[in-house]
Amino acid sequence: MKQKFIPLLIVGTALLAGCDKPTTTTGSTSTTPAANVAPIVDKADAIAVVNGQYIPKSSLAALEKEVAERSHGQNFPKEKLIEELIQRELLVQDATQKKLENSPELLAQLETAKKALLTQADLQNFIKANPVTEAEIKAEYDSKINAEKGTEYKASHILVKTEDEAKKLIAELDKGAEFGKLANKNSLDAKESQNGGDLGWFSAGQMVAPFSEAVATLEKGKYTKVPVKTQFGYHVILKEDSRPLTPPPLEAVKEQLTPFLQRKKVQDMIETLRKQAKVEILVPLTDEKPKTDAAPVAQEQPAAPAEAATPAAEPAKAAEGATTTQAVEEKPAVVAEPAKVAEPATAAPAAEPKK
């Protein structure tokens, strides 16, 4: 049966190009110029032999892990995975025979890949040596989350465009009209949802200042007698209830606090390295825009060659001095930092009426 290349080869090629993680694609041939000696593999530890070169079982295990991660758990038959490794080995042997490992392009890519792998290795080594402790998680929780105390409110509102509209609605409420029905009929925020303007539970910080201040001063069961103006329009607000703001328990936010503290440790480490390093920026930090307001050169009386050259030469010298001798202390770049995750919320608030 004729074997065909399976899509995994594309994955392998992308992996080699991006080098986002160290993955063993073959177990027999090394194309790195600094170590051009193939590792010794016993036949008992191999899954196949290609032109006398053994492919180790560890390569198959690595490929299975790679496939599982990149295909969201999708499984491929073992025979196809083995065929993939055989085809990769054939390509490696062919490239080695052609001495492609000595090409400037590949050498540059290998150097870039080496730096990327060393960057990841250094970060992983630091994280392993400096794990986030239970005490650090508890301290962060106490300082940032458990310390957040206050009040949360349950309210409804009617949002209209003009102050006159809001005043008319207040007059109808004074006559005994039902708040929810007025909201469903008139509110820009409830016409489609027909929820009576209900905002659920929220903390003061979730609302714009005029709105939250009005809710805080209202008595339970009362509505605003004066329209509340915000950037969204004019509100008539009904305060339904209030209660102390209860922060989430430690266990509920522990998984969010751990990566947050981990990132902070990594950033502190990088900042320390940056402060200890001697760094000089040798290129402009911003691209210089061409001057468009320069005066046109006079045609009747052109300047002498020496005089004409002087103004052009002086700015060039100034630019050179600014970009080659000035040491710029910039913020440390985040090198291969894990994807950022939003800091844990301090409560489980309801939807925010910023519409």
Q: What is the pLDDT of residue 39?
A: 63
Residue at 75 is within a domain:
yes
**Cα(38)–Cα(125) distance, integer angstroms:** 27
- pLDDT for residue 123 is more than 70: yes
- Per-residue model confidence as pLDDT tens digits over 67-78: 988 888 777 899
In a domain, 132, yes or no: no
For residue 185, is it within any domain?
A: yes
Residue-wise pLDDT tens digits, 16-67 = 333 343 333 444 444 444 444 556 888 899 999 999 999 999 999 999 988 9
Is residue 24 situated within a structural domain?
Answer: yes
Residue 315 counted as domain residue: no
Greater pLDDT, 149 or 211: 211
Query: Mean of the pLDDT values across residues 152-157?
Result: 96
Phi, psi of 331 (to 5 degrees): -65, 145
Residue 14, pLDDT above cutoff 60: no
CATH number at residue 172: 3.10.50.40
What are the pLDDT digits (tens) for 202-250? 988 889 999 999 999 999 999 999 999 999 999 999 999 999 988 889 9
pLDDT of residue 75: 78
Select, from the ranges 184-193, 268-277, 290-299, the one with the highest average predicted confidence (pLDDT): 268-277
Per-residue pLDDT averaged across 313-319, rounded? 36
Q: Looking at the domain assignment, is residue 349 inside a domain?
A: no
What does the pLDDT average to over 252-269?
Answer: 94
**Does pLDDT of 309 surpass 50?**
no
Between residues 269 and 322, the one the model is more confident about: 269
Selection from 84, 28, 78 nearest residue 55 by Cα: 28
Domain boundary among 224, 244, 264: 244
Contact, 237 vs 228, CB < 8 A? yes
Q: Are residues 96 and 176 in the same domain?
A: no
3-state SS, the chain, equals CCCCCCCHHHHHHHHHHHCCCCCCCCCCCCCCHHHCCCCCCCHHHEEEEECCEEEEHHHHHHHHHHHHHHCCCCCCCHHHHHHHHHHHHHHHHHHHHCCHHHCHHHHHHHHHHHHHHHHHHHHHHHHHHCCCCHHHHHHHHHHHHCCCCCEEEEEEEEEECCHHHHHHHHHHHHCCCCHHHHHHHHCCCCCCCCCCCEEEEEEHHHCCHHHHHHHHHCCCCCECCCCEEECCEEEEEEEEEEEECCCCCHHHHHHHHHHHHHHHHHHHHHHHHHHHCCCCCCCCCCCCCCCCCCCCCCCCCCCCHHHHHHHHHHHHHHHHHHHHCCCCCCCCCCCCCCCCCCCCCCCCCCCCCCC
Asked whether residue 311 is assigned to any structural domain, the reply reads no
Q: Quick one: 179 and 236 in the same domain?
A: yes
Length of the chain equals 355
Tell me the residue range of the domain where 64 lies. 8-103
Q: Read off the amino acid at residue 190.
A: A
Examine the domain organization and report whether 18 and 95 are in the same domain: yes
pLDDT band at 106 (very low <50, low <70, confident <90, very high): very high
Which of these three, 199, 229, 244, is where a domain ends?
Answer: 244
Domains contained in the chain, number? 2
Give the per-residue pLDDT at 217. 95
- Asked which of 211, 244, 277 is the last residue of a domain, the reply is 244
Give pLDDT tens digits for 286-301: 877 766 654 444 444 4
Per the prediction, the chain carries an average pLDDT of 77
* Angstrom distance (rounded) from CA 182 to CA 166: 11
Beta bridge partners of 72: none
